[in-house]
Structure 1
Amino acid sequence: MSGSVVPDQRGGSGGPRPRGPAAFCARLARSRPFEIAIIVLIGANAAVLGLETYPHLGAAGSVLRWLEWAFRTMFVVEIAIRVLAYGRRPQDFFRHGWNVFDLVVTAAIFLPALHGDSALLRVIRVARVLRLVRFSPGLRTIVAALWRSLPGVGGFLALAMVTLYVYGMAGWLIFGEIYPEEYGDIGRSLLTLFVLLSLETLPDLIEQGLAVSAWTLVYYVSYVLITVNLLLNILIAVIVNSMEEARRLEMTEGLAPDYDVDGDGVPDELDRIAISQRLDDLRAVVGELERELRIGREDGQRRMADRG
């Protein structure tokens, strides 16, 4: 999901500058007071949702229902302002993931199938609180990093499942008859090994294993080294790499739109990452030059002092 969710004064696509109501909506949507107002509105909506969890509200219940309809109306007005801000290109509103998310959680509340006090209606109303993420660059970067890490996490999960299955079968062969509660079948074995990822049960399992054979220590030590250390570190590396890419995109979101404008066939998201990497390289080169110049200046001053 892109962090850039409001068009600039050129309409967000390099086109002509919007005029009239579109220009007003664009300025309003980009203004800090507008964002603060929406944040306060979402916070108030969250407070109302929390109050509705208390039983026996009495007369306050009708007030909360009226407030809910007021929130719905204001959220609809907000979405309308953001759509109108795109001027003659309202379709660009759907290019940004956060805009689509806001529209879905705002419009879904009006579906005819959702009425009364259904569980799905409550879930959708609670989902509106998640809109606070779009207004925080830090949270937005974390969510974008988690989204970008999904392909890598999928590969990690496949590798972890294979590893757990192999160790689960080995545990069933070694301990199945002796400790049926922990390793009586493949399901119990996998559950035991999954709990072992926290390392809390490791001393007890090692003690049980040593009662069978000293060689069981190899089983548990290798499992801990491969799964707890190696695999989890791989997962952390995948997420950290995605965090770095998301941070680069967040830093360069104003340098290029979210779609291929330059016509080179490469998504501009990749262009922005490349731009950020080049900027980092330039910063490193400039820092090295400054260090060399400082050393050269100090050497020159020292030679002049020696001559004097």
Structure 2
Amino acid sequence: MSELSVPQKNTLAETCRRLAEAPLFSQVIIGLILINAVAVGMETSSWILERYSGLLYGVNQLILVAFMVEALVKIAAHGSRPWRYFANGWNCFDFSIIVLSLIPAAGPMATLARLVRVLRVLRLVSAFPELRLLVDTLLRSLPSMFHISLLMGIIFYIYAVAGYFLFHEIDPTHWRSLPIALLSLFRIVTFEDWTDIMYTAMETMPYAWLYFISFVVMGAFVMINLFIGVVLNNLEEAKLRRLDELSMPPSQTEILRELRATQESLARLQKRLGNELELSDGNEKGTRS
């Protein structure tokens, strides 16, 4: 049987790559993130903190070491090009969380250190591909959202100035100045008891409802649906890009990896066939004798 001309080296980078891609490895990291979230939540209880502060500190340090080992494994998986680890934005995010976690939890930086431990929970986003897809979608939606926000700001400004001139004498509590009028409009667009403001204005101006209804339609229904439409459109585009990436032809490294795995399987099969042939030859000789 001919041998495939594929290098058989089982390098450290290859071992680390297989470890980083193993499902169990990701599951362990997710479990540690969840344990960290529970531990941080327990620190909000003074009763638990007084009795188990040492245990919580040990759990925190153990999780920090585990995250550092994870980062080292993923960096080592790139072999002689460790900087490729930082080409992935999610890896940079995870690494920055680890670096910030090294802040000592004592002295003036204690509060910041506790907040960083809370931020570790955000690593759940990088651990799940579906959550990463949603975050990528939101980031890609920011330019379109900016233009929608600009349009919404113009509408707010127009209605705030109009509301000041129409209602500042009738209802000075909600329309006495431009900033207060903007806050009142924000209250209206979030539907927080906005009808009280409308009925107060209608006591003096019966047709004031036209102002409020038109703003609710423009500010709440139209604008919010525009935001939702932009996000859904970018989500569909992100899914299509993900499908395109999955359907891309394999790289040379992946081909060599598959060839190496195939060669190993063929070698095991050849060895097994050789053992079976030797066993059958021995049985035939025994039968003849």
Which of the numbers 46, 53, 56 marks the counterpart of 2:44? 53
Matched, 1:101 2:81: no
Q: Quick one: distance in 1 between partners of 2:117 and 2:94?
A: 12
Tell me: CA distance 1:128–1:200, structure 2 relative to 1, closer, same or farther (3 Å): closer
Matched, 1:232 2:246: no
Which of the numbers 20, 24, 27 marks the counterpart of 1:33? 24
Asked if the contact 2:138/2:231 (under 8 Å) is kept, the reply is yes
Matched, 1:90 2:78: no
Correspondence list, 1:178-189, <5 A: 178-189=170-181
Aligned to 1:175: 167
Asked if the contact 2:187/2:194 (under 8 Å) is kept, the reply is no
Matched, 1:219 2:211: yes
Question: C-alpha displacement at 1:200, in angstroms?
Answer: 4.2
Question: C-alpha displacement at 1:250, in angstroms?
Answer: 3.0
Structure 2: any 5+ residue segments left out of the alignment? Answer: 1-6, 250-289
Q: Quick one: distance in 1 between partners of 2:231 and 2:139?
A: 10
Which of the numbers 41, 62, 65 marks the counterpart of 1:73? 65
Q: Which has the higher helix share?
A: 2
Aligned to 2:246: 254
Q: Quick one: distance in 2 between partners of 1:90 and 1:163?
A: 50
String of CA shifts for 1:80-121, please: whole Å, max 9, x gaps.
001111112211111111100000001122246x64462211
Q: Tell me the TM-score normalised to structure 1 length.
A: 0.72
Correspondence list, 1:187-198, <5 A: 187-198=179-190
Asked if the contact 2:133/2:238 (under 8 Å) is kept, the reply is yes
Question: C-alpha displacement at 1:210, in angstroms?
Answer: 2.6
Q: Quick one: distance in 1 between partners of 2:199 and 2:193?
A: 10
Q: Quick one: distance in 2 between partners of 1:198 and 1:30?
A: 45
Asked if the contact 2:174/2:184 (under 8 Å) is kept, the reply is yes
Matched, 1:152 2:148: no
String of CA shifts for 1:27-53, please: whole Å, max 9, x gaps.
110110100111111111112112222
SS in 1 for 2:80: coil
When Rg is computed on C-alpha atoms for both structures, the one with the higher figure is 2
Q: Which stretches of structure 1, 4 residues or more, deviate above 6 A after TM superposition? A: none
Q: Which range moves more in the overlay, 58-67 or 173-182?
A: 58-67
Which amino acid counterpart does residue 189 of structure 1 have in structure 2? A
Q: Tell me the TM-score normalised to structure 2 length.
A: 0.77
SS in 1 for 2:95: helix
Q: Percent identity?
A: 33
String of CA shifts for 1:185-220, please: whole Å, max 9, x gaps.
111111111010123434333323332233323212
Question: C-alpha displacement at 1:59, in angstroms?
Answer: 4.8
RMSD: 2.2
Which amino acid counterpart does residue 153 of structure 2 have in structure 1? M
SS in 1 for 2:245: coil
Asked if the contact 1:18/1:87 (under 8 Å) is kept, the reply is no
SS in 2 for 1:177: coil
Which amino acid counterpart does residue 92 of structure 2 have in structure 1? V
Q: Quick one: distance in 2 between partners of 1:34 and 1:200?
A: 47
Structure 1: any 5+ residue segments left out of the alignment? Answer: 1-15, 258-308
Which amino acid counterpart does residue 41 of structure 1 have in structure 2? L
Which amino acid counterpart does residue 234 of structure 2 have in structure 1? S
Q: Quick one: distance in 2 between partners of 1:133 and 1:17?
A: 37
SS in 1 for 2:46: coil
Tell me: CA distance 1:50–1:199, structure 2 relative to 1, closer, same or farther (3 Å): closer
SS in 2 for 1:212: coil
Which of the numbers 11, 15, 19 marks the counterpart of 1:24? 15
String of CA shifts for 1:219-242, please: whole Å, max 9, x gaps.
122212211121111111111112
User: What is the total number of aligned residue pairs between the two structures?
Assistant: 241
Which amino acid counterpart does residue 51 of structure 1 have in structure 2? M
